[in-house]
Structure 1
Amino acid sequence: MKLYPYLYSAIASLLLTACTLQDAQKLPQLDSNQVSQKQLKVVNLDKTKILMGQTIYVPVYSHIYFENKKQAIDLSATLSVRNTDIDNSIIITSVRYYDTNGKLVRQYLENPIELGSLASTDFVVERSDKSGGLGANFIVEWVAEKEVSQPVFETVMISASSAQGISFVSNGRVIKNLSPKK
């Protein structure tokens, strides 16, 4: 049997992965929330035009334990906000980060921002930021002036070092539907 092609393929794959991780670690560090917010339009909210909206709870894990509670892996977390409507914008009015005890740690928006049709944005909690603890969460509020499809709210937690990594996703849950006054 000729196993050489498989062996060469496996070695090439390992080398490529190692090079990719090393190259990624050399990339310049970006301010975690400046990149995606630059393209977003700040809006003046006219509450009389609001047709629908929600408050969303999104779990965040700044670290996870392994083997015992004495060993933990620190994680970075990216909140991804995605407008799934093909034709209409939504307005993100608030993105707040809370710690394990329910205390407000950080508010990410000073003003409401418009998220165009099929657009997305993100908000990052850096791996070194332990202020949220194990039971942290985002509370996101959004509204729309027209009926729109349900946006998607997810956090992606990740940690990578050397050739090892871990990642997983938490989905947002609606905790309140907006009831505009008529």
Structure 2
Amino acid sequence: MRLIATALLFALLALPRHGYSATQEIRLSKGQTVYVPVYSNVFTGPRSLPFQLAATLGVRNTDPNSWIRITSIEYYDTSGKLIRRYQDKDKPLSLAPLATTYVHIEEKDTAGGFGANFIVRWQADRAVNAPIVECVMIGATSGQGISFVSPGQAIREVR
């Protein structure tokens, strides 16, 4: 038991840290394209059975003074095929300072598969604090539950 607890502690310490420390520079941007991994399911047990998960994409405007525009949110499957558009490029969503928007994918929606992802594009009129874009996955079955967060990664910067 002590060995398992020690292994878990080392695993937690090895996880990447998110957020800013006092020595890190605050990142300002006028817009980005952000890739966010989504796990519609994970495989469990010796037979690698799929464990279905609900997923909630969150986009959090971290700037206390400025609005941002979410210009598109697209959901892709494991093979990279576009499944759905949740935000239309022609009708951007304005997000107030410190406000959050989200997209929820139900546990029974398996269209994305294990390698699904969101592509989120956002813009601002001036350089602002970059939003936090992440996906929370959660599932429970037969008394067993699992939850975790998948952080987004900027793959393109608006110039």
TM-score by length of 2: 0.77
- Letter paired with 2:44: F
- Which one of the candidate residues 73, 76, 85 is aligned to 1:107? 85
- Letter paired with 1:77: A
Q: Of Structure 1 and Structure 2, which has the larger fraction of its residues in strand?
A: 2
- Letter paired with 2:50: A
**Cα offsets for 1:76-133 (capped at 9, x unmatched):** 0000100000000100000000000000000001320000000001101111111101
Mapped to 2, the partners of 1:105 and 1:142 lie a distance apart of 20
Mapped to 1, the partners of 2:77 and 2:53 lie a distance apart of 15
Matched, 1:67 2:42: no
Matched, 1:149 2:129: yes
* Partner SS for 2:74: strand
* Partner SS for 2:126: coil
- Which one of the candidate residues 126, 137, 150 is aligned to 1:170? 150
Which residue does the alignment assign to 2:111? 131
Which residue does the alignment assign to 1:36? none
Distance 1:164 1:147, change over 3 A: same
Q: Of Structure 1 and Structure 2, which has the larger fraction of its residues in helix?
A: 1
Q: Which runs of 4+ in 1 moved over 3 A?
A: none
Aligned residues: 129
RMSD (Å) for aligned C-alpha atoms: 1.3
* Partner SS for 1:141: strand
Structure 2 unmatched runs, 5+: 1-28
* Partner SS for 1:131: coil
Distance 1:161 1:70, change over 3 A: closer
Matched, 1:58 2:44: no
Mapped to 2, the partners of 1:143 and 1:69 lie a distance apart of 45
The percentage of counterpart residues that share the same residue type is 50
Mapped to 2, the partners of 1:108 and 1:101 lie a distance apart of 19
Higher Cα Rg: structure 1 or 2? 1
**Cα offsets for 1:21-44 (capped at 9, x unmatched):** xxxxxxxxxxxxxxxxxxxxxxxx
Which residue does the alignment assign to 1:47? none
Which residue does the alignment assign to 1:158? 138
Mapped to 2, the partners of 1:90 and 1:170 lie a distance apart of 22
Structure 1 unmatched runs, 5+: 1-50
Mapped to 2, the partners of 1:125 and 1:157 lie a distance apart of 9
TM-score by length of 1: 0.68
Mapped to 2, the partners of 1:68 and 1:103 lie a distance apart of 30
Which residue does the alignment assign to 1:44? none
